[in-house]
A and B are shown apart, each in its own frame.
Chain A
């Protein structure tokens, strides 16, 4: 079975307000942004006879805005735009890096940050950076606007807490109060381009003048049904010096916050081993 265009109904709102109104009237519709996930499923014949809400004409939602408190990335900003935006690269380099390893150039030119989130793959490459930057997701529905902490948007693989007829409008990135002492983004996949991640990591570390951990934020993707912050290891290291013993303990505690599985891309054991190596390497500097 292939995608059959004649079975599809396409709604093309011209403005965010019209999009919200149309979605309210057709809550069964499938929002379509860059299509890099939807179209793969549609080509396989899995989404025939659906109504599609094509968001691509909404230019207002593709911009990146600076406010006093941070950057507001429109839900329809493409990975290419995020990757190349000087403000993102300066203040949120881990997100810019993630955007540069999602798929390959042709995917980055189409895929969007909002689409990435709405798709809610456990392996979404933008998610660990958004988790450590403590992003806030702006959504809108006929009931009004809402803001959610990034991690609260996900309920499971391919499942979000978005309500019926609720659209992601933007993702807010609060500026970090202080430059991190150390930061990392790493994607581990089968090949450099296109491959979905076996594991994907983002970390921020602040050390005080005496070499003690002021704050650690570390997030892993593809290691649980949703992206996870390593709360246990983060809390353990707060106020500690990074010695071989504390680093080893943090690496061990990593297992408390993740539950990697065996699947087509990797094994749980490999995922755990490589994630521990990434965290250990990052902490040792």
Chain B
């Protein structure tokens, strides 16, 4: 028996402790928003947040999230009320076939929430583990940048730099 919090609700999974989190979510709890892509940790389609951090749910046996906080795409908006990221992706044309979208949105959601910057290079690096084979990256980056700018405007700190800067920027700043 594994107890975990999924989208704010305490849930109990009674199946085998080595069941993958992606299977627990989809088959155990009926949360089919999370997609399985490659099943080998390459594509990022199955990304969910564990204690606020993106992880690939195809690489997590459920015993390892005992007592942890899991967030899936279902924790964001629905058709009636879209999350700002979902709205921006729609309006910027940042989704095509949709398989990568839930994982992409969760990775981006964590980025926006932890104070990630709106610089396209930083966003590209944050999303680097999420593959889109419809090659819609530009639109996706535009959508995320827009949501970050909206966040900064809401916080009234648009002129101050964001806290989390790109790791690329940090890299190029040193050892060169």
How distant is the Cα of A6 from the Cα of B20 in the complex, in angstroms?
12
Chain B residue nearest to A193 (CB atoms) is B128
Decide: A43 and B129 in contact? CB cutoff 8 A. no
CA distance A8 to B58 in the complex (A): 16
> Given the complex, which residues of A lie within 8 Å of B94, measured CB to CB?
none
Chain A residues within 8 Å of B41, by CB: 36, 39-40, 103, 107, 194
A57 neighbours in B (Cβ, 8 Å): 66
A-side contacts of B19, CB under 8 Å: 5
Binds A, one of B70-78, B141-149, B167-175: B167-175
Q: Which of B17, B20, B56, B174 contacts A107 (CB 8 A)?
A: B56
B155 to chain A, nearest CB (A): 22
Query: Cβ of A43: which chain B residues have Cβ within 8 Å of it?
Result: 20, 39-40, 58-59
Residue B107 is within 8 A (CB to CB) of chain A in the complex: yes
CB atoms of A35 and B60 under 8 A apart: yes
A5 to B60, CA, bound (A): 12
**Proximity string of chain B (59-70) to chain A, C-beta cutoff 8 Å, 1 when within and 0 when not:** 111011010000
Q: List A contacts of B167 (CB < 8 A).
A: 83, 100
Q: Is the CB of A103 within 8 A of B129?
A: yes
From residue 71 to 123 of chain B, which have CB atoms closer than 8 A to chain A? 107
CB distance from A93 to the nearest CB of B (A): 6
CA distance A193 to B168 in the complex (A): 12
Evaluate contact between B53 and A80: CB separation under 8 angstroms: yes
Name, among A36, A57, A104, the residue most crowded by chain B CB atoms within 10 Å (CB to CB).
A104
Q: Contacts A35-B60, A193-B128: A105 and B54 contacting too (C-beta < 8 A)?
A: yes
A100 CA to B175 CA, complexed, in Å: 15
How many chain B residues have a CB neighbour from A under 8 Å?
35
Whether a CB of chain A sits under 8 angstroms from the CB of B157 is no
Query: Is A172 among interface residues, defined by CB-CB distance under 8 A?
Result: no
Indicate if B150 sits at the interface (CB-CB under 8 A).
no
Contacts of B55 in A (CB 8 A): 106, 109-110
Contact assessment for A106 and B60 in the assembled complex, using a CB-CB cutoff below 8 Å: no
Contact A106 B18 (CB under 8 A): no
A39–B61 touching, CB < 8 Å: yes
A185 at the interface (CB under 8 A from B): yes
- Chain B residues with CB under 8 A of A6: 16
How far is B114's CA from A56's CA once the two chains are assembled, in angstroms? Answer: 24
* A interface secondary structure, majority: mixed
Residues of chain B contacted by A104 (CB below 8 angstroms): 44, 128-130
B175 touches A93 (CB 8 A): yes
A58 to chain B, nearest CB (A): 12
Nearest-CB distance from A118 to chain B (Å)?
16
Please give the distance in Å from A26's CB to the nearest CB on chain B.
15
Instruction: Quote the shortest CB–CB distance from A149 to chain B (angstroms).
Output: 25
Q: Which residues of B in the span 129-176 have a Cβ within 8 Å of any Cβ on A?
A: 129-130, 167, 170-171, 174-175
Chain B residues with CB below 8 A from A185, complex form: 175
In whole angstroms, what is the CA distance A52 to B15 when docked? 17
| Contact between A194 and B63, CB atoms less than 8 A apart | no
B31 contacts chain A at the CB level, 8 A cutoff: no
Give complex CA distance A5, B2 in Å.
14
Query: In whole angstroms, how far apart are the Cα atoms of A186 and B175 in the complex?
Result: 10
| Contact A107 to B129, CB < 8 A, known contacts A35-B60, A56-B64, A100-B167 | yes
How far is it, in angstroms, between the C-alpha of A12 and the C-alpha of B58 when the chains are bound? 20
Return chain B residues, CB-CB under 8 Å to A183: 175
- Give the CA-CA distance A56 to B50 in the complex, in Å: 14
Q: Residue A193 contacts which of B50, B59, B129 (CB distance < 8 angstroms)?
A: B129
- Is A269 located at the chain interface by the 8 A CB criterion? no
Residue A3 at the B interface, CB < 8 A?
yes
Per-residue contact bits, chain A 28-56, to B (CB 8 Å; 1 contact, 0 not): 00001001100110011000000010101
Query: What residues of chain A lie closer than 8 Å to B58, measured between beta carbons?
Result: 39, 43
Residues of B within 8 A of A107 (CB): 41, 56, 129
A10 proximal to B (CB < 8 A):
yes
Query: Do B174 and A110 have beta carbons less than 8 Å apart?
Result: no
List 11 extra interface pairs beyond A10-B63, A40-B41, A43-B58, CB under 8 A. A8-B18, A10-B17, A35-B61, A39-B41, A40-B40, A54-B64, A57-B66, A104-B129, A106-B56, A109-B54, A193-B129
In the assembled complex, 7 residue pairs joining A and B whose CB atoms fall closer than 8 Å, in A order, are: A35-B59, A43-B20, A97-B174, A103-B41, A183-B175, A192-B125, A193-B129
